[in-house]
Amino acid sequence: MGTQAGLDIINPSGMGHGPGTCGNSMPEPYSLLGILVVVLDIIAIISVLFGSGTVAHKGLWIVLVLIFPVIGMILYYLFGRSPCAA
């Protein structure tokens, strides 16, 4: 009962113990999606900064992209860019 009982209290599912659980070389698909969203958000923010528009207009889009990363980025590319930039 000693050690095993203590581990079951910490991790009642028993997962994570045993061979093959450490050193998994394949990244999780959600982490790749997260990295993609961050990269696209950075590109959108740079696009906002170098685009034409007032400081208030740029600030609003940057805040929107930061608060709602996926939706804000999509809305910016659909509605926020000037017609000549598209």
DSSP for 27-78?
A: PPHHHHHHHHHHHHHHHHHHHHHHSSS-HHHHHHHHHHHHHSHHHHHHHIII
Q: What is the structure's pLDDT at 19?
A: 53
Is 84 inside any structural domain? Answer: yes
| Within-domain flag for 15 | no
Residue 13 lies in a domain: no
Low-confidence ranges of the chain (pLDDT < 50): none
Domain that includes residue 67, residue range: 28-86
Find where tokens 């659909």 sit: 78
Q: Are 67 and 75 in contact (CB under 8 A)?
A: no
Domain for residue 5, yes or no?
no
Residue 56: its pLDDT value, please?
94
**Is 82 contained in some domain?**
yes
23 lies in some domain? no
Domains held by the chain: number: 1
The string of pLDDT tens digits covering residues 32-49 is: 899 999 999 999 999 999
Q: Distance (Å, rounded) from C-alpha 57 to C-alpha 52?
A: 9
Does residue 21 lie in a domain region? no
Residue pointed to by tokens 């999509």: 74
